[in-house]
With several copies, the nearest count.
Chain A
Amino acid sequence: MKTLTIVLTDGPYISEYAEIAYKLAEAALKKYKVNIFLYLDAVHIPKKGQYPAFFINAGQLFSELAGKGAVVRACARCAGARGYLPEKEIIQESNCKDYFPGIRITSLYELSEMLSMSDRVISLSR
């Protein structure tokens, strides 16, 4: 099965990229393996407890993607800087208690591995 990797660098709401990435990933998951790497501000996307009165909950969208089989990973350096810390214990497929289920914090080397295992790559950033 072919693999698509999506690299994101924006947080939710401020730009449309989290939603566009969701639509791309959802379409791709019907036939392909999908990796999503959350870099820089994109590590805010999986934060629990979002109440976007006027928008669609971005954390929920990405958790849903993980539930459908997408591998969603956040950069450890970017996440740590922004106050999201990995823990040893994995609960609901996540190693960060502030994150939605299914989304984990990993080293930046995971981006490199994702790329080397991919067929196509999409990057979205402001």
Chain B
Amino acid sequence: MKQEKMDVFLLTKPPFSPRSELCLKLAARSGKARIYLAGDGVYNLLTGIEKLPECDVYACKEDLEARAIMAGEKVTVPDDFYSDFIEDIMEHCRHEYTF
């Protein structure tokens, strides 16, 4: 069976910024989205981004620590965030977006 490819989003803006809202709308349309939160993007965990249906959420450990944000159970915090992201966009994705 062919594995359907996902859309990968890198989100570096905090909640309510127009770019974040655009990102969330496109992710909701995707049907199979993976959202990588880096920089101020990790603040989206405070507003429940990990509850979006059909979305996997990844967050950057160093950015979480700097901002004192906890990642809940549904959020993946990889050992090497940037390598995982690069691998995903280069090899496993239908479309990449950065916001």
Contact = CB atoms under 8 A, between A and B. Distances in A.
Question: Is any CB of A less than 8 Å from a CB of B in the complex?
Answer: yes
Interface of A: 2, 4, 16-17, 20, 23-24, 26-28, 30-32, 119-124
A116 B56 CA distance: 30
Interface residues of B, number: 14
Central interface residue in A17, A26, A120, A123, by most chain B CB within 10 Å: A120
Q: Is the interface of B mostly helix, strand, loop or mixed?
A: helix
Nearest to A19: B39
B38 A120 contact: no
Contact of B12 (A2, A17, A30): A17
A82 to B, nearest CB: 20
B90 A24 contact: no
Contacts of A121: 96
A19 B70 CA distance: 22
Contacts of B83: 27, 30
14 contacts: A4-B90, A16-B40, A23-B82, A24-B85, A27-B80, A27-B83, A27-B85, A27-B86, A28-B90, A30-B83, A31-B90, A120-B89, A120-B96, A122-B96
Contacts of A119: 90
B60 to A, nearest CB: 9
A27 B98 contact: no
Interface of B: 10, 12, 38-40, 80, 82-83, 85-86, 89-90, 96, 98
Nearest to B17: A126
A60 B89 CA distance: 26
A87 to B, nearest CB: 33
Contacts of A20: 12, 38-39
Q: Is the interface of A mostly helix, strand, loop or mixed?
A: mixed
A31 B82 CA distance: 13
B12 A4 contact: no
Contacts of A17: 12, 39
Given A16-B12, A16-B39, A124-B12, A2 B86 contact: no
